[in-house]
Amino acid sequence: MTPVISVVGKSNVGKTTLLEKLLRELKWRGIKVATVKHDVHGFDLDVPGKDTWRHAQAGSDVVVISSPDKLAMISRVEEELSLDEICARISGVDLIITEGYKRENKPKIEVFRRGVYEELLSSPDELIAIASDVKFDLRVPCYGLDDAAGLVDRIEELFLRG
pLDDT at 6 over 80: yes
Pairing of the two strands 95-99 and 4-8:
parallel
pLDDT class of 42 with cuts at 50, 70, 90: low
Domains along the chain with CATH numbers: 4-43+80-160 (3.40.50.300)
pLDDT at 43 over 70: no
pLDDT class of 17 with cuts at 50, 70, 90: very high
16-25, 41-50, 64-73: segment of lowest average pLDDT: 41-50
**CB burial class (10 A; 0-12, 13-18, 19+) of residue 30?**
exposed
Q: What's the rounded Cα separation, in Å, for the pair 135 and 85?
A: 35
Q: Are 99 and 15 in contact (CB under 8 A)?
A: yes
What are 86-126's pLDDT values in tens digits? 999 999 999 999 998 999 999 999 999 998 888 999 999 99
pLDDT at 77 over 90: no
Report the percentage of the chain scoring pLDDT > 70. 95
**pTM (whole model) above 0.75:** yes
pLDDT class of 51 with cuts at 50, 70, 90: confident
